[in-house]
């Protein structure tokens, strides 16, 4: 295809993806109350866990803040709900340029990456009430903590994004192994440093100071890293056997017997 044809195809796919996102956005406006309750629920559960002497209330500041929050919430929900379609459009644009083996592996990774991300986000949502309760617990006695809900939604979004991306990291490790950048043996050699780096990442990534939120992020990451190391070692072993068989075949072919 000529460059102009590629650009026209890209424009068509972007237009289709945008139209679907806009359509889903209007659908999400209809379910706004349910989405709002989904965001509010971690805060309500956190408020039940904090000491009764600590006072906190959710607030929205500004005349247009309520409308801005509603549009922002429905927009993020629309992007997530329509992600299979616009990711498919990206995939459809890139697919013709890939080799057969690359298409095979990219399909496998695409099938695994989505569930991993949502599993991480679900874990983050489960941890949120405890993290929020710990953070609000630092409020001085006699002071009411007014939680600005637009900022609170941004906080939740960042938290879930961190957990979702964290669950993807072992998958990228396997990709690097398949590309020949890192070996399973090297992963085993640096395993103590990987464990240390994982706990440091979990401590920085979770905003609360309690150890439970950190463990909820670090332990699944470590288990996924161990699975990634096992897969990398199996791939290295299969790759080594393949190279060995190829060398033996070459030797037999060159042998005068």
Per-residue confidence in pLDDT tens, the chain, 257 aa: 566 776 788 888 889 989 999 999 999 999 999 999 999 999 989 888 887 778 888 888 888 888 989 999 999 899 888 888 887 787 777 777 667 766 777 777 777 877 888 888 888 888 888 888 888 888 888 788 888 888 888 888 888 888 888 888 888 888 777 777 788 888 888 888 888 888 888 777 666 566 766 777 788 888 888 888 888 888 888 777 555 544 554 555 444 44
Q: Is residue 52 part of a domain?
A: yes
- List the domain range (segments joined by +) for residue 56: 3-240
Q: Is residue 123 part of a domain?
A: yes
Residues paired with residue 144 on neighbouring β-strands, in sequence order = 55
Selection from 175, 174, 178, 163 nearest residue 215 by Cα: 163
CB–CB of 55/144 below 8 Å? yes
Q: Is residue 256 part of a domain?
A: no
pTM: 0.74
| Cα–Cα separations (whole angstroms), residue 20 to 23, 89, 90 | 5, 11, 14
Q: What is the pLDDT of residue 83?
A: 82
- Tallying the residues shown for the chain, one arrives at 257
Q: Is residue 257 part of a domain?
A: no
Instruction: Give me 192's structure tokens.
Output: 């103590």
Q: Is residue 124 part of a domain?
A: yes
Counted domains in the chain: 1
Q: Is residue 228 part of a domain?
A: yes
Instruction: Give me 234's structure tokens.
Output: 């199996």
Q: Is residue 245 part of a domain?
A: no
Q: Is residue 252 part of a domain?
A: no
d(CA 195, CA 227): 14
């Amino acid at each position: 295809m000529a460059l102009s044809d590629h650009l026209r195809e890209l424009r068509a796919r972007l237009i289709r993806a945008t139209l679907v996102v806009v359509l889903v956005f209007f659908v999400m406006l209809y379910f706004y109350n349910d989405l709002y309750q989904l965001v509010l629920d971690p805060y309500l559960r956190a408020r039940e866990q904090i000491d009764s002497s600590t006072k906190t209330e959710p607030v929205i500041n500004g005349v247009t803040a309520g409308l801005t929050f509603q549009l922002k919430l429905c927009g993020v929900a629309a992007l997530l709900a329509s992600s299979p379609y616009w990711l498919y459009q990206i995939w459809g644009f890139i697919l013709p340029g890939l080799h057969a083996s690359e298409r095979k592996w990219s399909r496998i990774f695409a099938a695994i990456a989505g569930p991993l991300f949502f599993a991480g986000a679900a874990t983050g949502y489960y941890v949120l009430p405890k993290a929020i309760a710990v953070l609000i617990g630092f409020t001085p006695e006699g002071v009411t903590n007014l939680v600005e809900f637009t900022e609170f939604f941004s906080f939740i979004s960042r938290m879930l994004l961190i957990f979702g991306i964290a669950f993807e990291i072992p998958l990228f490790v396997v990709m690097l192994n398949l590309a020949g950048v890192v070996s399973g043996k090297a992963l085993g050699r640096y395993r103590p440093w990987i464990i240390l780096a994982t706990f440091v990442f979990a401590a920085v990534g979770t905003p609360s100071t309690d150890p439970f939120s950190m463990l909820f992020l670090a332990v699944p990451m470590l288990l996924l890293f161990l699975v990634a190391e096992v897969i990398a070692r199996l791939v290295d072993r299969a790759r080594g056997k393949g190279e060995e068989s190829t060398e033996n075949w070459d030797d037999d072919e060159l042998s005068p017997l």
